[in-house]
Amino acid sequence: MSELGRHRWPVLPAFAVFGLLFVGPLAFFLVVSFWRLRAYKLVPDFTLDNYLDVWSEYLHAAIFTLLISLLIAILTTVIGFMIAYLARFRAGRYGNLILFVVLVTLFGGYLVKIYAWKTILGTGGILNSTLVDLGLINEPLAWLLYSPTAVVITLVNFLLPFTVLPIYGSLRGIDEVPLSAARDLGAGGARVFRDIVLPQCKPGLFAAFAVSFLITAGDYVTPRLVGGPNTFMAGNFIESQFINRLNAPIGSALSYAMLIGCGLVLLLFQKTLTRVLKPR
Amino acid sequence: METSPLSKTLWGLFGTVSMLFLLSPIALVVIFSFGENRLATLPMGGFTFKWYGKLIADPNFWSALENSLIVTLSVGAISTVIGTLAAMALARWRPGTANAAMMTLSLPVMMPPLVLALALATSLSSLGLRFGLHTVIPSHLVFTQPFVILIVYAQMANFNFAMLDSARDLGATPWHAFFTIVLPNIRSTLIGAALIAMSVSLDDFIITFFTIGNGMTLPTLVWGMLRTALDPSINALGTLILIATITSSVIALSITRYRG
């Protein structure tokens, strides 16, 4: 057997899973977005009506979703960077403890965490009762739960571990030698940070931002459970098209419209990141 | 770096607050699973196991547990075999090509789960398949195998392939060479990779929910409980899921080189 052949067949099962259960279904799902629905049955067609419907009916939901995802992605990336920076450069022997906490919270129960925030943020919840007991507020803050604020808090909490790890991965790769060289040559802390630390973090920052942005933009469980009656994100509409209206074509058109929107935001973010992080 | 007392204090404060923020929902679920009161408010009442008792008495819990075990163990085993095969071959590719292949195979992890779930559900149902655990397991493979591949690849990067090649030159079959030379060297990595794949599978709600049909796994049971009346045995169930996923991922991370 040729050298190349021998190292090619073992990857076939993995690519078969990827092709049959990712590329195939997503391609079919894209095709369905151009089909019609007649009497609850899918009818092959080539129509842009579904996309036009999405544009006229869900544009505001899509924009709201992209904006709240942008806010959450920026918050998690900044806080995630600070935690990673703390663990790498400032925390000394506590650095490993911080990483351990991050890893423990990475895999622990998506639904369970959302449920926990529901009990923390409610008017009778721990946060409000503690604030009242401390005398900081007179009556419970009703806007903490069933509001966009609750969605932001819950998702930032859930996504932080996913942002700390890739950024820490980038920071770990930074050598101490150029840092001390720059300082010996008279560069201040801010200058070292801006010209050496940040540019090297670019891949980690982008990965962190992309993961938290995409997961938020496609989420429907968090807004459903803690967002209240007025926080509808695109995911809620996509889900309800499938579950309540059994309308796969509109649901898939909305999914792909959101994916395109997300792709544009990520492209813009990468361009901005490259421009901002260019060493002067 | 230069550390003024003020910046030291501020970083310490930030570290404490951020760790509390990360841990508080998990800690709360565990603490209240032992609390007497129905409502998760302070004071929490006396110490009790009654929510665990209520959970154990629920037949839905046992059927969900059984399904979750079937799915998690199958996904862990299959994705470890497929992922290890791929990672071992990729380790002998040029790093650039191997990285591109791994980026491609990792795309399912980046895709919003709802979109992947609906694409899978639409495709599987148009193929005329009935939904059940046999549709959940393949659907999980596509987003668990990237973890196995990345973890095993990281380990194989410092594997000495000359050992393998000489065994093959001396007439060992590929299987014999794998079991006597490669496996003893990477056994703990494989266990770690399998445990990570199992944690990811055990915690999945969205993709399971859309591909399972009428059955239940532990996360879809949580979902059902969330939508009915306030039921504190949810804390008990949450604690059990947390113990399972956190234990397996901590073991996994302590025996592999993988760090996110």
**A124 in a structural domain:** yes
% chain B with pLDDT above 90: 48
B59-90 vs B95-105: helix crossing angle, rounded to 10: 160
pLDDT over 50 (residue B37): yes
B60 residue type, one letter: N
CB atoms within 10 A of CB B260: 18
Question: Residue A42: CB partners within 8 Å, gap ≥ 6?
Answer: A32, A35, A36, A248, A249, B126
**B6 in a structural domain:** no
Choose the mutation target among B102, B123, B216 for the interface with A, i.e. most A CBs under 10 Å.
Answer: B123
User: Region B202-206: what's the mean pLDDT?
Assistant: 92
Higher pLDDT, B161 or B22: B22
**B29 in a structural domain:** no
pLDDT over 70 (residue B171): yes
Q: What is the pLDDT of residue B250?
A: 80
**A41 in a structural domain:** no
Q: What is the pTM of this model?
A: 0.89
Q: What is the pLDDT of residue A1?
A: 40
% chain A with pLDDT above 90: 45
Is B3 touching A (CB cutoff 8 A)? yes
B 84-103: CB under 8 A from A = 85-86, 88-90, 92-93, 101
Q: Tell whether the torsion through CA atoms of A202, A207, A208 and A210 is positive or negative.
A: positive
Q: What is the pLDDT of residues A31-60, one digit of tens each?
A: 999 998 887 778 888 888 889 988 988 999
Lowest mean pLDDT segment, chosen from A23-27, A189-193, B86-90: A189-193
**A243 in a structural domain:** yes
**B17 in a structural domain:** no
Residues from chain B contacting residue A26 (CB–CB below 8 Å): 111, 115-116, 119
CA atoms within 13 A on the CB side of A211: 24
- Nearest Cα residue in chain B from A213: B112
Pick B119's closest partner by Cβ from A25, A117, A189: A25
Q: What is the pLDDT of residues B175-200, one digit of tens each?
A: 888 888 888 888 888 988 898 899 89
Q: What is the pLDDT of residue B182?
A: 85
Q: What is the pLDDT of residue A259?
A: 94
SS (H, E, C) chain A: CCHHHHCCHHHHHHHHHHHHHHHHHHHHHHHHCCCEEECCEEECCCCCHHHHHHHHHHHHHHHHHHHHHHHHHHHHHHHHHHHHHHHHHHCHHHHHHHHHHHHHHHCCCHHHHHHHHHHHHCCCCHHHHHHHHCCCCCCCCHHHCCCHHHHHHHHHHHHHHHHHHHHHHHHHCCCHHHHHHHHHCCCCHHHHHHHHHHHHCHHHHHHHHHHHHHHHHCCCHHHHHHCCCCCCCHHHHHHHHHHCCCCHHHHHHHHHHHHHHHHHHHHHHHHHHHHHCCCC
Residue ranges making up the domain that contains B224: 51-255
Mean pLDDT value across chain A: 88
**B237 in a structural domain:** yes
- Contact assignment for A119 to B40 by CB distance below 8 Å: yes
Higher pLDDT, B39 or B47: B47
**A10 in a structural domain:** no
**A32 in a structural domain:** no
Q: What is the pLDDT of residues B210-254, one digit of tens each?
A: 999 888 999 999 998 887 766 778 889 989 988 888 888 788 877
Q: What is the pLDDT of residue B165?
A: 85
pLDDT over 70 (residue A6): no
Q: What is the pLDDT of residue B3?
A: 64
Q: What is the pLDDT of residue B41?
A: 65
Q: What is the pLDDT of residues B94-121, one digit of tens each?
A: 889 999 999 999 999 989 999 999 999 9
pLDDT over 50 (residue A2): no
pLDDT over 80 (residue A136): yes
How far apart (Å, rounded) are the C-alpha atoms in residues B123 and A226? 31
CATH number of A122's domain: 1.10.3720.10
- Contact assignment for A165 to B259 by CB distance below 8 Å: yes
Higher pLDDT, B260 or A220: A220
- H or E segment and range at residue B115: helix B113-126
Domain count for chain B: 1
pLDDT over 90 (residue B65): yes
- Contact assignment for A214 to B200 by CB distance below 8 Å: no
User: Region B120-141: what's the mean pLDDT?
Assistant: 93
Is B114 touching A (CB cutoff 8 A)? yes
CATH number of B179's domain: 1.10.3720.10
pLDDT over 80 (residue B9): yes
Query: Which two structure tokens, joined as six digits, stand for B32?
Result: 């209240």
How far apart (Å, rounded) are the C-alpha atoms in residues A189 and A85? 14
- Contact assignment for B19 to A113 by CB distance below 8 Å: no
Q: What is the pLDDT of residue A149?
A: 92
Pick A14's closest partner by Cβ from B3, B82, B121: B82
Domain count for chain A: 1
pLDDT over 90 (residue B149): yes
Q: What is the pLDDT of residue A277?
A: 83
User: Region B111-132: what's the mean pLDDT?
Assistant: 92
**B41 in a structural domain:** no
Residue ranges making up the domain that contains A257: 49-276
How far apart (Å, rounded) are the C-alpha atoms in residues B206 and A182? 49
Is the distance from CB of B25 to CB of A120 less than 8 angstroms?
Answer: yes
**A59 in a structural domain:** yes
